[in-house]
Amino acid sequence: MDANFKQGMFDLFEQLKRNAVYLNYSPAAEPMLLGSSKFGGRPDVPQDFVWPYFESENYDKVRANRPLSFMAQINLAEAAEFDKEGLLPKQGLLSFFYELETERWGFDAEDKACAKVFWFKDLAALQQADFPADLAAEFCLPEFVLELEAGLSLPDYGDFVHNPKTQALPEQYPEEAKEFDWDEYDGLLAEYGYQPPEDDWSETSKLLGWPNTIQGPMEYECEAVSRGIYCGEPHELDEELRAEIERASQDWLLLFQMGTVENGDFELMFGDVGHIYFWIKKQDLAAGNFDNVWLVLQCS
């Protein structure tokens, strides 16, 4: 591989690198303090909290209004130490919910309410919620302690090859870059000094950074479907509208990725070894507005 090309790639990695907050879990041995970072268990919420519901069909074609499952909560004061770029709010609790029975993919505008993110600013006002009576036991997740760790994040092969955010290659080398295969790209990352987390890739959960993609970049899908465009199959758009969506898609950032969680007889897997990804526009994140977060599920 040409030395100048390799250096050009390393320069590009410098431009693309992001900080991520990696989440490592272990079973809770004792009741956790209010406001702790955790997967599962009962969420800590304000007294006036209304549990979110989502109406849709399950795989048996039964339509119902179902309660979302509580997936995780992050103590933001704790996360601030690891959020090197200062993107997240500095105080409070960030809580993530997702409807597990219908397990929507996020490519339909009707999927919007299948996932919710709440920012509870005052920890002192929180109390532990009870699960809704109509939330099936299998969707009430066991409690896991979360340990947070800062780490470097770079796009994986699928994102690098297909994501417009990564297409600023040195102009003299675009053709060689297009001929990359997965192993060559991972080899370059290793030479650059990038060491991804040692955890099984399918179990990687994190805040911020680049996603671990399975079916390609998601930013265009987030922008298009939030405008009401169905993305479950190829679609034709006016060239001007597509260009506008592509421009606006660059504002979407990964907020939270959750992978497989397992311990003993318990396993939570999204589809076939998949992840769920909560995406947010950078303008909304800066404003502390989590109402327009979009969820995408990808799996093998």
Q: Minimal CA–CA distance to 102: which of 38, 58, 44?
A: 58
Instruction: Give the pLDDT confidence score for residue 181 in this predicted structure.
Output: 84
Whether 64 and 49 have beta carbons less than 8 Å apart is answered as no
d(CA 91, CA 103): 30
pLDDT confidence of 160, banded at 50, 70, 90?
Answer: confident
Query: Residue 102: is its pLDDT beyond 90?
Result: yes
pTM of the model: 0.95
Instruction: Give the pLDDT confidence score for residue 87 in this predicted structure.
Output: 98
Q: Minimal CA–CA distance to 219: which of 269, 143, 155, 169?
A: 155
Whether 292 and 246 have beta carbons less than 8 Å apart is answered as no
Query: Residue 269: is its pLDDT beyond 60?
Result: yes
Q: Considering the chain, what is the average pLDDT of its residues?
A: 93
Give the three-state DSSP class for 180. coil
Average pLDDT for 193-222: 88
DSSP letters along 63-127, please? EEEEEPEEEEEEEHHHHHTT-TT--S-SSSEEEEEE-TTT---S-SGGGGGGEEEEEE--GGGEE
Average pLDDT for 55-84: 96
Instruction: Give the pLDDT confidence score for residue 202 in this predicted structure.
Output: 82
pLDDT digits (tens, 9 = 90+) for 214-235: 999 999 999 999 999 999 998 8
Query: Residue 172: is its pLDDT beyond 80?
Result: no
